[in-house]
Amino acid sequence: MKIVVLDGYPLDKGLDWDALTQLGDCKIYDRTDYEDDKILERIGDASIVLTNKTPMDVNVINNAKNLKYIGVLATGYNVIDMKAAATKGVTVTNIPTYGTDAVAQFTFALLLEITSQVGLHNQLVHEGKWANSPDFTFWAKSLIELSGKTFGLVGYGKIAQKVAEIAHAFSMQVIFYNHRPKEVQGNWVKQVSFEELLQTADIISLHVPQTPDTINLIDKAAIDKMKDGVIIINTARGTIINEQDVANALNEGKILGAGVDVASTEPIKADNPLLKAKNCFITPHIAWAPKETRARLMNIAINNLKSFLNGTVQNQVLK
């Protein structure tokens, strides 16, 4: 049995693939060009393919002659043409809950950077601004206390629920919008309409997958309904926000600050409007990346494959 990993580099820093190599003839590539012919060349006659962000469209799936299984090394599976996989009878699995704690933690890292400005003031202290100050303290930007603010979550899966718990611990009022009713952890969290969330939240944190319904969910029309001075956090997918509309709102002061760990195209393009927007904090899709989290992901991916080989598929996408 031949196994191909198309883009292992982002996952395996400090880790190894020993458990995978024991399952078959395994070829691991750091990265693969996003071109069908290059992807098909790498896949060859392999029946098992693992991919993180390397896309597998209808052409790749139809022309990978021995393909039986695609293991997505992430939660989101929008890089796979699911219709083509289903038509060909290819099993697709993903990793649904590996990064809950890490992404929730990072959501607040972005929020706290916006509200407490730790990075800025650390830089200013090291530049000598405090040493030369006539007072015992100084601040270059206003700081914001989170207690009592309304924290709104768009989507209410595992990650969002963990984020909600942290927001509650910060003594915030927690509300969420979800496309279907959800059970809640207690009377401190409330499900509301999307309209109400936009109108009442001081902070909006995005936790929905990329689907046709969520692309450009946060656009000018949505922003216009928000409070002046709202903060937006996006650790989900870059396409969920209209980046030009968010950049405009940041530059105009409608949005006080934005923290994003994702972009509509990754790596981010040099002309992305968020790069020049005011008070926009951007990180390179690293919320998922703690070593502990990546080790968990790898273990689940290998167990997914073992289950498939044993005839008892786990974490299958769209059965």
| 3-class DSSP state of 233 | strand
Q: Are residues 315 and 71 in contact, defined by beta-carbon separation less than 8 angstroms?
A: no
The residue from 42, 207, 243, 285 that is catalytic is 285
> Which amino acid belongs to residue 144?
I
Give the number of C-alpha atoms closer than 13 A to the C-alpha of residue 270, restricted to the C-beta side: 0
The continuous run of DSSP H or E covering 231 comes out as strand 230-234
Which of 49, 57, 48, 50 shows the shortest CA–CA distance to 79? Answer: 57
What are the structural domains of the chain? 2-98+291-309 (3.40.50.720), 100-282 (3.40.50.720)
pLDDT digits (tens, 9 = 90+) for 56-69: 999 999 999 999 99
Q: In what order do the strands lie in the sheet with 25-28?
A: 25-28, 2-5, 48-51, 69-72, 91-93
Q: Is 266 a catalytic residue?
A: yes
CA-angle at 300, arms to 296 and 302, nearest 5°? 120
- Residue 76's pLDDT is 86
Which of 319, 283, 305, 242 shows the shortest CA–CA distance to 109? Answer: 283
Question: What pLDDT tens digit does each residue of the chain (319 aa) get?
Answer: 999 999 999 888 889 999 999 999 999 999 999 999 999 999 999 999 999 999 999 999 999 999 999 999 998 898 999 999 999 999 999 998 899 999 999 999 999 999 999 999 999 999 999 999 999 999 999 999 999 999 999 999 999 999 999 999 999 999 999 999 998 989 999 999 999 999 999 999 999 999 999 999 999 999 999 999 999 999 999 999 999 999 999 999 999 999 999 999 999 999 999 999 999 999 999 999 999 999 999 999 999 999 999 999 999 997 6
- Residue 10's pLDDT is 86
Q: Is 179 a catalytic residue?
A: no
Q: Are residues 230 and 203 in contact, defined by beta-carbon separation less than 8 angstroms?
A: yes
Q: Which residues pair with 316 in a beta bridge?
A: 93
- What is the token pair recorded at 59? 């052409």
Q: Is 237 a catalytic residue?
A: yes
DSSP-derived secondary structure letter, 274: G
Cα→Cα distances 314→36, 94, 300, Å: 28, 9, 10
Cα 287 to Cα 109: distance, rounded to the nearest angstrom? 9
The residue from 237, 243, 294, 296 that is catalytic is 237
Q: Are residues 141 and 119 in contact, defined by beta-carbon separation less than 8 angstroms?
A: no
The residue from 145, 252, 266, 292 that is catalytic is 266
Q: Are residues 260 and 238 in contact, defined by beta-carbon separation less than 8 angstroms?
A: yes
Q: Are residues 6 and 49 in contact, defined by beta-carbon separation less than 8 angstroms?
A: yes
Cα 277 to Cα 311: distance, rounded to the nearest angstrom? 51
Query: What is this structure's pTM?
Result: 0.91
